[in-house]
Every structure is written in C-alpha cells, then in structure tokens.
Structure 1
Amino acid sequence: MQIVMDCQFFRFATDLAGPADFFNMSQSRVEGKEDQWYVGWSNCEGHTANELRKHYKLPYFLSPELDHGKTDWIYMGLPGPGAPSHIDHVPGATWQAQLSGEKEWTFEAPPECYGICTSKMKVRVKAGEIIVLDGSRWFHETHILGKNMSIVIGAEFY
C-alpha cells in the first residue's frame, strides 16, 4: 500500500508501485497482453471526488440520512487474483458497485461467529450489481472471473 497525500493506493500482487505507474501503463498491459494486474485506490481529492460523484448516485437502498464517507474507492483489474484475504480498516460498512466484469468474493466469518455462522461463503457479483459488506469484521478476498476487466466503485456508510 502506498499513501500519497492521505490517499491510499493498493497494488495488491502487482508490480505497479503507485498511481503514476498505473496511469502510465502500456496499452498492451491494459488489454491483458502482458502481466495481470489488480489495483485499488481511494479518491480523496475534493475536486476529483465532486466530479466523480456527478456520474453516479448513491444506491437506492441506502438512506440519504446515513453518514456517507467522504472517500470513494475504485478497484480495477484483469481476470485472475484480486485482493488477498484481509480485513478493511474503515469505521463501518461499505457498498461496492460492479460496473464492469464479474468478481467472486470469499468471506470468512469473524471469530465471534465461529460455530454459529457458515465459516466461509462465496458470492459472485456481476456487472450492474451492488454488494454491501462489513469488511472491517469479515475477512474477505476477491477473484476476477470471466474475460472482462473488473471495474468497481464504492464508498463507506455509517
């Protein structure tokens, strides 16, 4: 993980060191003709966040009265490994909208749920679908399925 001006860049298992490497990637690599890649970043620059939010609406099932995070998250990658198993360090739940591609999530129950909950579950999210999760409590990992690039946008809510 790299932090640039309070923004986070997750390079996961790629050799992309930061946003500059990502945005200067060769067209051949973007198209999947070179090494596989999967990255995520927080959009925490005010002007850019305001511009991005002009292009999407809050999911219909979230009340406008909820406190919504000031930071949007974007995840992109080619078919193959996504994020390895981890816990998020955010104060609440998040929603993630799958804009393109298909992603499989694997969740592992938190310790307080062992013996009560299913210990592991898998969920497939297709383009046009939204997943809501508490990634600060459930270990989770992702894998990009199919042939299309995965593009996801999301945010926290409390």
Structure 2
Amino acid sequence: MSERSVEASRAVIQGFVTGALGCGCPAEVFRQIESSWPRVERTDPNYLRILIGGRLLIYAVEGSEGSSLLHWLPSLVERGRAERDAAAYNRFRLVLLMDGAADGRDEMEAAFARQAGDDGKAHLHFLPSGSAWHAVRSALESDFTTG
C-alpha cells in the first residue's frame, strides 16, 4: 500500500465520519484508524468495528433486514457501550446500513433508547448501504483492517 493510497483512504473515512455521521472529531484523530470484523459467537451479526483515534468506536452492521437487526440491536448496543467504557473511548456509534425503506426503524430506535438509556455518548444512525458506504468499506479493508 502506498502513502498516497492510505491518505486517500483516510480522506474517504474522515468524510464519512464527519459528514454522514455528523461527528465533530478534530482532524488529528484520523491519523489513527483501525478496523476489524469481530464475531464473538458464530451466530453473531456480521459488523465492521471501526476505531478512530482511540476516541470514537463505530459498529457498522450491514446486510440485515429490519427484523434481524431488531433482534441483535440490544446486544450490539450493550457490547459497544461496554467496550467504549472499558477502553475509555469518547463515543460509540451504531450504524445500521440498510437498503430501501428502514422497515421497523421506529422499533429499532425505541430498542436503542431502552438499551442506551440516557447515555449521551451512544448514538444510532440509519444509512443506506449504497456506493458511499462501499467506498468507506473498501478504504478500511484495503488500508486499515487488522483482522
């Protein structure tokens, strides 16, 4: 991987985090980016774990239907918040990447609110799983994925 490739990938990821997710992270945190595809149990949902600057933890879940996401949402919120707290990260963002209309979105927002409570440092995002996400995923996997 070339330095130019890494910098281009970093710019794509930074644009996603500051644009689509609305994060006000300072530019210097994007010097450190890592990602992985963790799976604690074989039946766990497939999600991309992204850590930005040792401060922002993101779980991006793709390719699931609303009913499946609703089933996994409480455990993902619990896992993300626990990891954030244990490592003293600033924020946790759960990103649900969905095609088309977000069936069950209200139910998922309610489930997230029940699980997160009044945690102002945990956020839920619904985004399309289209070409913008594919560019981010490609950038992460080519230059920043550790496992």
> Fold-level match, TM-score > 0.5?
no
TM-score (norm 1): 0.30
TM-score (norm 2): 0.32
Identify the structure with the greater strand proportion: 1
